[in-house]
Amino acid sequence: MTTLGAWIGVDVSKKFLDVATTTKALARVANEEGERRALALRLKSEGVRGVIVEATGGLERAILEALAAEGVAASIVNPARVRKFAEGTGQLAKTDRLDAEILARYGEYMRPAPTVLADAHRQNLRELIGYRAQIVQEITARSAQVRGYLAPDLKARAQAAIASLRAESKALEKEIVSLIRLREDMRVVFKRLTTMPGVGVIVAASLIAEMPEIGSLSRTKIAALAGVAPFPKDTAERKGYRAIRGGRADVRQALYNAARVAIRHNPPAKALYERLRAKGKSHKVAMVAVMRKLLTILNAMLKSSSDWACKPA
C-alpha cells in the first residue's frame, strides 16, 4: 500500500510512536532519536501529504523536530477535537493503533495547516513565562491559606515562604526581559507593545512567546487566533447570541490581565467598558470586548510600526 499523498497519524507515548494511514497501521517504533529520524526519512521518501500528532504536553515536540528537519509537513492538533471527531464517526474503541488511524482520518478531513515550532529562544521564553505563572499561582494559594492560620510561628513561616516566592517571581521577570533583549526582533516588538497602557512586561512577553503572528494578520484573524472573536450560537429560542470559543488560552489570559488594568488607565478601553456596562452588558461580555479591542490595536500598531496613541493609525 502506497502512502504517496496520504495523511499519516502518529500516536505519541513516552516509549513508542504508533504510525498509521487512514485505514492501516504502518509501524510501531521506539520513541528514540535514531528511530524518529528513520521514520522522518521514510515518510519523506514516500511523499506523504502531512503528519498529524496530538498535543501531549511536550512529548510531541521531538517527533515534530525530526519531521521538520526532513521537510515533512506536520500538524499538532487538539486532542479533545480529535476525540469528538472519533466519536462522531462511531469509533468508540481506543488503542494506540486506532488513535493513530483516527489522527490520519482527522488530517484527511480537516487538512490542518502545518505547525511551525517555536525556535529554541522562543521556547526558552515560553518556559520562563510558564514557570513564573506557576510561582504566581502558588503565591495566590499560599496567601489565601495564611489568613486561616492561628499559630503565630506557623503564620510567620508561611509569610516568609510567600516573600521568597515573590522574590523568585521578580527575578524571573527580570530574566524574561533580559532574554527578550537578546534578540533584536523581539526587543523592538516588546518595546512597542509596552507603550500601550495596560500592557506590562508579562503581557507583552506572553504575546511575543505565544502569538508570533501578531502584526501580520487581519483584525478578524488575529482575534479568532486568540479566541476572543465572537461566533454565532443561535437556537430556536435564542437569536443573536454570540460567544467566544477556541483560541490560545495563554494569550487570552494575558489579554484579560491587560484589560483589568486598561479599563482603569487606558482611555479608549475604559470608554468601551463603561459604554457596554451602561447598555446592560455583563462584566464578562464587556471585558471580552475590551480584550478584543486591545488585541486589534496592538496588531495595528505592529503592522504600522507605530507606538501607542489613543487613536493609532
- Domain map (residue ranges) of the chain: 7-110, 120-182, 188-313
Q: What is the structure's pLDDT at 147?
A: 87
Contact (Cβ atoms closer than 8 angstroms) between residue 77 and residue 103: yes
Q: Using the predicted structure, report yes or no on whether residue 232 has a pLDDT greater than 80.
A: no
Q: Parallel, antiparallel, or unpaired for β 25-30 and 16-20?
A: antiparallel
**Which of the two residues, 245 and 41, has the higher pLDDT score?**
41
pLDDT band at 313 (very low <50, low <70, confident <90, very high): very low
Please state the rounded mean pLDDT for residues 260-289. 95
Average pLDDT in the chain? 90
Looking at the chain, the whole-number percentage of residues with pLDDT higher than 90 is 75
CB atoms within 10 A of CB 203: 25
CA dihedral sign of residues 286, 289, 293, 295: positive
Fold of 7-110: Nucleotidyltransferase; domain 5 (3.30.420)
How far is Cα 198 from Cα 68, in angstroms, rounded to an integer? Answer: 37
Q: What is the structure's pLDDT at 233?
A: 57
* DSSP E strand stretches across 127-272: 231-232, 242-243
Q: Using the predicted structure, report yes or no on whether residue 215 has a pLDDT greater than 80.
A: yes
Q: 55-59, 81-85, 169-173, 222-226: which range is least confident on average?
A: 55-59
How far is Cα 66 from Cα 202, in angstroms, rounded to an integer? Answer: 31
Please state the rounded mean pLDDT for residues 188-215. 95
Give the per-residue SS3 of 134-171. HHHHHHHHHHHHHCCCCCHHHHHHHHHHHHHHHHHHHH
Q: Using the predicted structure, report yes or no on whether residue 1 has a pLDDT greater than 50.
A: no
Q: What is the structure's pLDDT at 312?
A: 45
Q: What is the structure's pLDDT at 301?
A: 96
Q: Using the predicted structure, report yes or no on whether residue 235 has a pLDDT greater than 80.
A: no
Those residues with Cβ within 8 angstroms of residue 140's Cβ, 6 or more apart along the chain or in another chain: none
Q: What is the structure's pLDDT at 245?
A: 58
Distance (Å) of CA 33 to CA 17, 124, 197, 275? 12, 21, 46, 57
Please state the rounded mean pLDDT for residues 3-23. 92
pLDDT band at 197 (very low <50, low <70, confident <90, very high): very high
**Which of the two residues, 309 and 286, has the higher pLDDT score?**
286
Q: Using the predicted structure, report yes or no on whether residue 230 has a pLDDT greater than 80.
A: no
Q: What is the structure's pLDDT at 30?
A: 96
